[in-house]
């Protein structure tokens, strides 16, 4: 269960302050996929970076389960980013000199999973997202965009996160390939009970979610 209350984020700027997010409150259940839509600059990525503890809110709280994660120490924030949350980005963000398998193993290495176990789980997750056989040993440069995004989804799932934050995960993909990625994310919500927050500006993609939140000028309007 994710529960966000009064989340506000201001950035200093030349003319004073820019409020990227203003008093945002909502919750999302385990196993629920919620889409976040809104015009460019409305605060979607800012919201995800706060939820991923990549940045700190100006005010407000973020509860994951029954823990208020907005008040964690630096070490606990790093641990949260590694174990509790999985990220999927528009541009895949895989590590270019590691194989698909090694990319998926990496977060488990940070989480101190023994090598044999992380190798087995990475291979299993890659199979699950349709990356099979020798494709698992290829570097990202030798995989298509859709294949790379599948690897990114497997990586996001590696430490069995409570929350997946996906920022325009289909933005660089054709319609059909994008739909497959959304299916995988929705499947993860249903199968593993992960809460998935999906930022998209594509209405068809947004409809795959059980619910849609709309941001305008940093505020939730629906
Ligand atoms: N680090 C920063 N410093 C200053 N302003 C920022 C910073 N990050 C975001 N902003 C501002 O906050 C607002 C929201 O930006 P954000 O990236 O969250 O929008 P978005 O909804 O993700 O847009 P897009 O659909 O184009 O990705 C914008 O006005 C942006 O310029
Ligand atoms: Mg954005």
pLDDT tens-digit series, residues 20-79 = 999 999 999 999 999 999 999 999 999 999 999 999 999 999 999 989 999 899 999 999
Spatial distance between the Cα atoms of 60 and 58, rounded to a whole number of angstroms: 7
- Please identify, by atom number, the ligand 1 atom nearest to the C-alpha of residue 168: 27
Antiparallel, parallel or unpaired: β 67-68 and 59-64: antiparallel
Please state, rounded to an integer, the average pLDDT across all residues of the chain: 97
Among protein residues, the one with the nearest Cα to ligand 1's atom 18 is 43
DSSP H or E segment with residue 85: strand 85-89
Ligand 1 neighbour 44 (Cβ under 6 A): yes
pTM of the complete model: 0.97
pLDDT tens for the chain, 222 residues long, are 999 999 999 999 998 999 999 999 999 999 999 999 999 999 999 999 999 999 999 999 999 998 999 989 999 999 999 999 999 999 999 999 999 999 999 999 999 999 999 999 999 999 999 999 999 999 999 999 999 999 999 999 999 999 999 999 999 999 999 999 999 999 999 999 999 999 998 888 999 999 999 999 999 998
Name the burial class of residue 185, with classes exposed (0-12), middle (13-18) and buried (19+) by CB atoms within 10 angstroms of its CB: buried
Closest protein CA for atom 8 of ligand 1 = 46
């Amino acid at each position: 269960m994710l529960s966000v209350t009064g989340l506000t984020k201001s950035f200093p700027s030349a003319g004073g302050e820019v409020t990227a997010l203003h008093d945002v409150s909502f919750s999302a259940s385990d196993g629920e996929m919620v889409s976040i839509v809104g015009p460019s600059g409305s605060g979607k990525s800012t919201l995800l970076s706060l939820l991923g503890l990549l940045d700190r809110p100006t005010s407000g709280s973020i509860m994951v389960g029954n823990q208020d994660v907005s008040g964690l120490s630096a070490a606990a924030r790093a641990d949260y980013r590694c174990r509790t949350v999985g990220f999927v980005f528009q541009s895949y963000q895989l590590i270019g000199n590691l194989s698909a398998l090694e990319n998926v193993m990496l977060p488990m290495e940070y989480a101190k999973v023994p090598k044999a176990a992380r190798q087995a789980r990475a291979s299993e997750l890659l199979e699950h997202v349709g990356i099979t056989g020798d494709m698992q040993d290829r570097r990202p440069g030798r995989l298509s965009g859709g294949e790379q995004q599948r690897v990114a989804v497997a990586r996001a799932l590696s430490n069995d996160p409570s929350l997946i934050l996906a920022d325009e995960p289909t933005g660089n993909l054709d319609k059909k390939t994008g739909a497959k990625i959304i299916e995988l994310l929705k499947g993860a919500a249903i199968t593993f009970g992960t809460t998935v927050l999906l930022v998209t500006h594509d209405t068809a993609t947004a409809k795959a979610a059980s619910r849609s939140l709309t941001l305008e000028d940093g505020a939730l309007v629906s």
